[in-house]
Structures are given as structure tokens and as C-alpha cells.
Amino acid sequence: MLAAFSARELPEVLKPLPGTPRAPGSHFVAPTPLAAEVVRFVGEPVAVVVAEDAYAAEDGAEAVVVEYAPLPAVVDVEQDPVTTPVIHDGWASNVADHFVVVAGAGARALERAPVVVEETLAIGRLSAQPMEPRAVAAVYDAAEGRLTVYLATQSVTQAHRGFSEMLGLPLERVRVVVPNIGGAFGVKTRFYGEEVLAAHLAMRLGRPMRWVGDRREEFTVTNQGRAQLHHVRIGLDDDGHILAFVDHFLQDAGAYNITASGPALNAAITAHGPYRIPHLEMACDIVLTNTTPTGPYRGAGRPEGAYVMERMLDRAAEAMGLDRAELRRRNLIRPEELPYDTGMKRQDRAVVFDAGDYPAGFEQVVRSIDYEGFRTRQRAERERGVYLGIGVANCLEMSGIGLGDSARVRLDASGDVVVMTAVSQMGQGHPTAYAQIAAERLGAPIERVRVIEGDSATGVEGIGTFASRSTVAAGNAIALAAQRVRQRLLDAAAQQLEASEDDLEWQGDDIVVRGAPGRRIALRGVVAQAGGESIEEVASGQGTPTFGFQGHGVTVAVDPDLLTVEVRDYVICHDAGTVVNPLLAEGQTIGAAVQGLGNVTSEEMRYDAAGQPLATTLHSYILPSSVDTPEYRLYEQHFPARTNPEGFRGLGEGGTIPSLPALAQAIEDALSPFGVRLNALPLTPQRLSEALQRQAGRGGAA
């Protein structure tokens, strides 16, 4: 062991991690890199040990003696304002933030609804578990006063500012490089304490420093997701048209309020879905508990929002004696109503659904899953003791949010093209897709295009890869910059060749006049004339949201004894907008859907009353494997988004969003002979067993 430090011995970095308060009046509260006096959740770091290798470091960590005086633990998100202890000194309660999204008359409209259905719905807490845990390596060049950090992050620019702020170094003396990342799913959006500690200790001890989280740390320290509790009322007219949707919900933020508000706001906006809703009220309290902080995880609130809307439609259909698909049909926004202003405001901007054909997408799902023929099959199979169920659910995938992103496209005299962005990839295949965009707009051979992402040294402005925004924001920026480069190239070439721009073509190392192979000019010469060493352009893509339809249809068989779920058929129809690379797009959709399957049927971060996490290994936290993955049948619509020039739609999260309600609906349908109502996710065999026990206690059929 080389060194060990407690919080007291690192006063220079003992300040809250940076971030931005969401709104005036909200309590943004971030942890310090090490807990100084109070430890607020299991996993919060209290000391740092430096050693030559991980074995010695763990020996050192084991030798750390901590004297804990136990404080009462708060784990429930529903809290008595009088008796619940506060987690942060000086607070009146553990409510860190409150916001309301309203359309029309909000909750007041319920008074006019002849049918009102009320329900409490919950989405349990999850852990993302990317294959590679978080990791950082820092090198400080004392002579130059320069810090270089290699970091697994989704936001190179935020990390760049974070290091600068926490370490007191000017931005130009910090470089953050993002190498290939082994998965992220949202949890690497945040700036974490270990990252600051590694960089600080590299400077302080004068040697390179590395920290690689292990699986247990990934379970206890890294952000978790979901964890929402919704009290919902839906009002309808006698024909099943939605009049009002009112949801007062609680977001469990964990022990700090760092990144929980984003998913909560996404849930509030996404609940609306592709339906006509004249009056809506989504009110949220962000509540602290003594658990690991929560933040974005694939879908980041969108699956939760879709879950509450779709499950309320199921309940309303049941209450009115209407078919679940029919109720949805009556409320889907028609193509001629688009663009559709929801009346909602997101960060002071109107939420407007841009383009699509939602009824056509939904009918595709209903037809493909054989919704009409299913009931006959279901009855026949039940005779044989097989419990089949069906679910259909929709959403609009909000993508491309956040401020803009820039891109720099450079054409060198050699004919090589370099594309630089501030987004970063963790397996999506950005370098392929972005090279395609640039090559197409430039008319260049794709093998000449190189993509550089996630390096603060490029100086490209942007905010990073999350919220299904990269291709919408950076992709548009690349297309625009590449077009400008091409324009300058062609202007110069047209002049030299005395030909029209429209007749010019990039062939190998030359620009040629189409149909006149003798009339050509070396690229090198054109570039030299147009820009010297290279032609370079920087452009920005906006952060205007797009809303793409996605519908899921699923049939399952539930083992009535073991309560395991087998997916029999799974149909997805989604509006992919303008697609850059069909294979990558399909991969995003299927991967997201598999994560939804895990969310519903196998994964759960459960805590006991003392705040101890009950699953901290992959033995007890069950991720779906390739063998558990069903064959997904995909249908695509292609309505270009109207909110960005290229018509791109984000695709990273849509596959997860309606999978939660679709699967829950199907599982509940399969178990309908037992009369059990499944309001809370997940629906693991253990949770289903608990639900059946409760039902039996009520004297139900089971």
C-alpha cells in the first residue's frame, strides 16, 4: 500500500461535486468525493487507498477502521412529513424538489368526467450493470501543469468542466479522453467522486493513478434508475375518450439530489403518449432516501411515464367493459392532427408532437400479434394448463433533447476526412453511422472518413451521449458541416475545371467531370486553393425534441406454479425517421427491448428496512441473457422528424419504453384466472408469488 486518506485528509477536494440546480427553489445536493461526517447510503465512499495493484488496494481498504454511530434509515419514498428523519441537516423534509406539468385545466377537469378510474402504480428500482464498470485513469504532467484523464463517461464536456472546477485547474490544462466504453445505459452521464479522487491523487502523489470499479461497487455506488411511485386518476367520457389524466408521483432520488429530476421530468412528459388528452396534470415530488442515488437509466423516466398511461388505459378499459385495443384506437391522435400541441411545457418550451401515423403503427402491431385471434388460442391453451396472455402498448419516444451539439468536419489535402464531435459511443456504432453521414454529404468514399469522438482536445462544443440525442444533435451538425465543406470544395473545383458543380464527382484522389473522364483535377490542388492545408467547417445541431411513435405487442406464457414468464411472440413497430444505418438502428431497438424484458421479469434492486441492498452480485440480480431473449419482429415507419433538417429520430430508448406496460399487461392477462392485479414492477417470480399470496389473503380465486 502506498497511501491512504480519509475525507479530513483531502480538504482540497472536499466540496460537493458540480452540477446545476434544475429550478429555483429546488435543493440540488451533491455528495463530496468522500463522505466527511455522515454516510447517507451503503456504498458511499469514506476513504481512499492507493496501492501498486488492486490486490494490495483491497487489503488496504479492508484494514480501514470506520466507527459508525447508526442513524435511523429512511428507505420508503412515501414519508410521514412529521416523523420521518431528515437525511440532510437543516432541511424541513426530504423533499428536494417539486414540479408540475399542466395542460388544459389539469386536475379540475376530472370533476366533469363521468368515468374516473384511480390506481397506484409503482416502478421498482434497477441497477444498469454495464459489462464494464466505471473506470478512470489520470496522468499529471507537473512540468507542463497538464492533467490528462482517460474516463468512461457519456459526457466528455461535463467531465472536462468537472475536473477543472473540482481541481482548480483552468480548462485548457485539462484534457479528458473517452476511450471505448463497455456499456453505459445512462449511469455514466454523471460526474462521480472516484474520478476526482483519481485525478487529485495523480497530481498530489506525482504518478499515474487508476481506479476501476468492481461489480460490487457497480451495484452500490453507481447511479441506479427508475424507483417511482404514482398515484393516478384518469377521467373519460361515456364513449371512452380521455378527458383528463392526473398523476401525483414520487421520484426516489436516493441520498442526494443530483440526477433524479431529469428522469422524473421525462416521465411527466412521456406519460401523455400518442393520445388526445385535453387536460393533464403531472405533479412530482423528488424525495430523498438512504439509498444509492438515482438518475438516467435506459429510457430515463420515459418507460415509467408510458407505464402509468398504458396501465391506466388497461384499467379504464376494464372499468368501462371496453376492449383494451379499442380504447386505445379511440384516443390515438390522427395523422391530420399533427403537428399536435399538447399544451404541456417542457422547460418553458411547448411540447409539440411533430410527425407520424400513430393509428397505422398501432394497427400494424395489433395485426402482427394476431390480437383478434388470440382469445381463441388463449382459451384452448388454458384447457391444457397453459396460461397465455397478451399485451399491446404505445409510446412516443422523446429524443434529441438537451442543448445543441457541434461537429467539425475537416477534409485534408490528402483526401482524408476527419469528423469530430463531443458525443461518445459505448457500443452504438457512432463511428460507422457518422462516417456514413459525412461520406454521403461530401460525396467521399466512406473508407476515407475517420471519426474522433470523446476527446476534449478537439475543442468541439456539445453535451454528450444520452437521452437518444447523439444522432439528432451531432448527426445534424456533421451533415451540415460536411455539406459546407463540399460546397467549398466544389466551388473551387468548378472554377478550375470550368464546369458546373452539378457535374462534378469525387473519384479516388481526383475530382472529375461526370461523363468527361479526361477533365479531372487532383483533390490536393483543389483543397489547396479552397483552404490551404485542409477545408474545415464547424456546424451545430439543435436540441429540439422529436417524438417518434413506438408500439409493442407481446404474448407470453406464465408458468402458474413457478411464475416464470416465457415470451412467445414479440412485435415492435416504430417510427425510425430517417435511418442512417438500418442494422445499427435495429440493434438499438432490440437491445433496448431486452433491457425492458429484464426490467419487468428479472431485475430488482431491493433494500431492507435498514437500507441494506439485498442484491449486490449477479447471482441475486438476474440480467436477461441472450438465451432468454425472444425473437423480436420489427416493423419500421419512416416519417422524417420535422424538428431537425435531416429528419433524424433518436432510437436508443424506444425499445424499452412501451415494453414495461406491454409485458405487465400480458403477464396480468395470463394470470387473470387468479384475479390478481399487478400494479408494481418488477414482476419477478418472487413478486408474483407475493401478489398471489396477498390475493389469496383477500379471499381471491387463488
Partner 1 sequence: MKPRAFDYYAPASLDEALALLARYGARARPLAGGQSLVQLMNMREVSPEIIVDLNRAPELAYVRTAAGGGLVVGAMARLQHLATSAAVRGGNAAVTQAANQVAFPAVRSRGTLGGNVAHAEPGAQLPLVLSVLDAQVTVARQGARRNMLLAAVFGGARVNTLAPEELLVEVWIPPLALAAGYAICEFRRGHSGPPLVTVATILELDDAGAIVTARMGVSGASDVPLRLREEESLLVGQTASEATFASIAEHAAARAQRGDPVLAGVDLRRRAVRALLLRALTDSAARATQAERQEGL
Task: Check residue 617 for interaction with partner 1 (CB under 8 A).
Answer: yes
Task: Check residue 458 for interaction with partner 1 (CB under 8 A).
Answer: no
Residue closer to partner 1, measured from CB, 382 or 484: 382
Rounded Cα distance, 628 and 655, in Å = 16
Residue closer to partner 1, measured from CB, 60 or 225: 60
Residue closer to partner 1, measured from CB, 104 or 675: 675
Q: Which of 146, 566, 685, 695 binds partner 1 (CB under 8 A)?
A: 685
Task: Check residue 562 for interaction with partner 1 (CB under 8 A).
Answer: yes
Q: Which of 9, 318, 372, 690 binds partner 1 (CB under 8 A)?
A: 690
Give Cβ neighbours of residue 404 (< 8 Å, ≥ 6 apart). 461, 462, 473, 477, 540, 541, 542, 543
Residue closer to partner 1, measured from CB, 347 or 686: 686
Rounded Cα distance, 8 and 36, in Å = 7
What one-letter code names the amino acid at 603?
Answer: E
What one-letter code names the amino acid at 395?
Answer: C
Task: Check residue 9 for interaction with partner 1 (CB under 8 A).
Answer: no
Q: Which stretch binds partner 1 (CB under 8 A): 188-196, 298-306, 669-677, 689-697?
A: 689-697
Task: Check residue 625 for interaction with partner 1 (CB under 8 A).
Answer: yes
Q: Which of 120, 347, 495, 564 binds partner 1 (CB under 8 A)?
A: 564
Residue labelled with grid coordinates 496522468 = 139
Q: Which stretch binds partner 1 (CB under 8 A): 8-16, 112-120, 348-356, 562-570?
A: 562-570
Q: Which stretch binds partner 1 (CB under 8 A): 370-378, 446-454, 487-495, 620-628?
A: 620-628
Q: Which of 582, 686, 700, 701 binds partner 1 (CB under 8 A)?
A: 686
Nearest Cα neighbor of 7 from 32, 36, 48, 39 is 36
Residue closer to partner 1, measured from CB, 570 or 607: 607
Edge-to-edge strands of the sheet including 146-151? 174-177, 146-151, 135-141, 209-212
Query: How many Å is the Cα radius of gyration of the chain?
Result: 27
Rounded Cα distance, 395 and 657, in Å = 7
Q: Which of 78, 172, 318, 608 binds partner 1 (CB under 8 A)?
A: 608
Interface with partner 1 in residues 195-254 (CB under 8 A): 214-216
User: Cis peptide before 339, with omega less than 30 degrees from 0?
Assistant: yes
Q: Residue 568: what are its φ and ψ, rounded to 5°?
A: -90, -35
191 touches 223 (CB < 8 A) = no
Label the pairing between strands 340-346 and 504-507.
Answer: unpaired
Residue closer to partner 1, measured from CB, 20 or 617: 617
Task: Check residue 561 for interaction with partner 1 (CB under 8 A).
Answer: yes
Q: At closest approach, how far in Å is the CB of 214 from partner 1?
A: 4
Residue closer to partner 1, measured from CB, 335 or 685: 685
Edge-to-edge strands of the sheet including 224-236? 95-103, 279-288, 242-254, 224-236, 115-127, 680-681
Residue closer to partner 1, measured from CB, 9 or 59: 59
Task: Check residue 54 for interaction with partner 1 (CB under 8 A).
Answer: yes
b (16+ CB within 10 A) / e for 237-262: eeebbbbbbbbbbbbbbbbbbbbbbb
Residue labelled with grid coordinates 430508448 = 653
Task: Check residue 619 for interaction with partner 1 (CB under 8 A).
Answer: yes
401 touches 543 (CB < 8 A) = yes
Q: Residue 388: what are its φ and ψ, rounded to 5°?
A: -95, 150
Rounded Cα distance, 655 and 306, in Å = 12
Rounded Cα distance, 148 and 210, in Å = 12
Q: Which of 11, 55, 81, 142 binds partner 1 (CB under 8 A)?
A: 55
Residue labelled with grid coordinates 481512499 = 48
Residue closer to partner 1, measured from CB, 57 or 590: 57
Residue closer to partner 1, measured from CB, 194 or 604: 604
What one-letter code names the amino acid at 292?
Answer: T
Task: Check residue 693 for interaction with partner 1 (CB under 8 A).
Answer: yes
Taking CA atoms, 594 is separated from 247, 591, 656, 660, in Å, by 28, 5, 7, 11
Q: Which stretch binds partner 1 (CB under 8 A): 80-88, 165-173, 368-376, 617-625?
A: 617-625
119 touches 245 (CB < 8 A) = no
Task: Check residue 455 for interaction with partner 1 (CB under 8 A).
Answer: no
Q: Which stretch binds partner 1 (CB under 8 A): 256-264, 373-381, 600-608, 659-667?
A: 600-608
Q: Which of 3, 85, 620, 700 binds partner 1 (CB under 8 A)?
A: 620
Q: Which stretch binds partner 1 (CB under 8 A): 100-108, 258-266, 615-623, 657-665?
A: 615-623
Structure-block grid coordinates of residue 561 = 406454479
Q: Which of 105, 622, 634, 680 binds partner 1 (CB under 8 A)?
A: 622
Task: Check residue 502 for interaction with partner 1 (CB under 8 A).
Answer: no
Q: Which stretch binds partner 1 (CB under 8 A): 54-62, 120-128, 303-311, 413-421?
A: 54-62
Rounded Cα distance, 386 and 566, in Å = 11
Residue closer to partner 1, measured from CB, 433 or 688: 688
Label the pairing between strands 135-141 and 209-212.
Answer: antiparallel
Q: Residue 548: what are its φ and ψ, rounded to 5°?
A: -105, 135
Task: Check residue 382 for interaction with partner 1 (CB under 8 A).
Answer: no
Q: At closest approach, how far in Å is the CB of 258 from partner 1?
A: 26
421 touches 405 (CB < 8 A) = yes
DSSP 3-state of 513:
strand
CA atoms within 13 A on the CB side of 602: 19
156 touches 433 (CB < 8 A) = no
Task: Check residue 602 for interaction with partner 1 (CB under 8 A).
Answer: yes
Structure-block grid coordinates of residue 309 = 398511461
Q: Taking CB under 8 A as the rule, which mask of x and - marks residues 627-666 in contact with partner 1? A: xx--------------------------------------
Residue closer to partner 1, measured from CB, 52 or 89: 52
Nearest Cα neighbor of 219 from 124, 135, 133 is 133
Q: At closest approach, how far in Å is the CB of 54 from partner 1?
A: 5
Q: Which stretch binds partner 1 (CB under 8 A): 323-331, 350-358, 431-439, 678-686?
A: 678-686
Q: At closest approach, how far in Å is the CB of 85 from partner 1?
A: 24
Q: Which of 91, 614, 673, 698 binds partner 1 (CB under 8 A)?
A: 614
Q: Which stretch binds partner 1 (CB under 8 A): 275-283, 437-445, 607-615, 657-665?
A: 607-615
Interface with partner 1 in residues 133-172 (CB under 8 A): none
DSSP 3-state of 701:
coil
Q: Which of 97, 405, 586, 604 binds partner 1 (CB under 8 A)?
A: 604
Q: Which stretch binds partner 1 (CB under 8 A): 335-343, 550-558, 609-617, 652-660?
A: 609-617
Residue closer to partner 1, measured from CB, 82 or 627: 627
342 touches 355 (CB < 8 A) = no
Q: Which of 37, 52, 62, 336 binds partner 1 (CB under 8 A)?
A: 62
Task: Check residue 194 for interaction with partner 1 (CB under 8 A).
Answer: no
Taking CA atoms, 559 is separated from 385, 631, 689, 690, in Å, by 9, 20, 12, 15
Task: Check residue 612 for interaction with partner 1 (CB under 8 A).
Answer: no
Label the pairing between strands 417-421 and 449-452.
Answer: parallel
The residue count for binding partner 1 (CB under 8 A) is 35
Q: CA angle, 302 as apex, 223 and 27 as ends, to 5°? A: 50
Could you list the residues that contact partner 1 (CB under 8 A)?
A: 54-55, 58-59, 62, 214-216, 559, 561-564, 602, 604, 606, 608, 614-615, 617, 619-625, 627-628, 684-686, 689-690, 693
